[in-house]
Structure 1
């Protein structure tokens, strides 16, 4: 994979990770009649295809236009300084679609008894360590 494509992939992966980790806050503040459709275009699409990239970019731009500083973080730090920042990458739970990763950290790297459910797709996440 070329460096430019790897950097693009990492940026979009981070954006979807932020969306998943802050889903409830974002939906409460910025959700509206078209929220489900915008998010659905991301969750139903095959990650890292051109259509998927376009859907993530559209949501990012709509959040920025709606007043979220930095949107999903594709061009500036996620959520600016007033919103929760991105999750650090460490041992934790991985999105079941593979679109984002390590959205929930664990204490001491040990998995919780039951896998948390992904806020975006409603399926159980899988545990990975560093």
Structure 2
């Protein structure tokens, strides 16, 4: 996670382990693994970490799963509501992968987007006429 202080400098910190997870347990080790991925990328790119380019092989398609596993739900909703982020899974993996990302968030906005995508699936996946590119 990144905190901003008065002069605008970014101060990076490691996320705290969730309460009730004993240090050294398998659950703690798994949490550390999930937390390391988004935290490491965020520490290298503090200002634009949520706009992960498609050139980064693993992270764009799996970040929506790792964030809640690392107890970082507060970062999940901003990720899921970005139009630029929605475009990547649609063009690379397909609509089902994008929709599955929304199952990890309980926030009303994320769930509303998931419902809209599910209702739009027939129109978005039908082999009808294509619109010209803008």
Whether the TM-score (by the shorter chain) exceeds 0.5 is no
Q: Which has the higher helix share?
A: 2
TM-score between the two structures when normalised by the length of structure 2: 0.26
- Which structure has the higher relative contact order (CA within 8 Å, separation 6+)? 1
TM-score between the two structures when normalised by the length of structure 1: 0.27
Q: Which has the larger radius of gyration?
A: 2
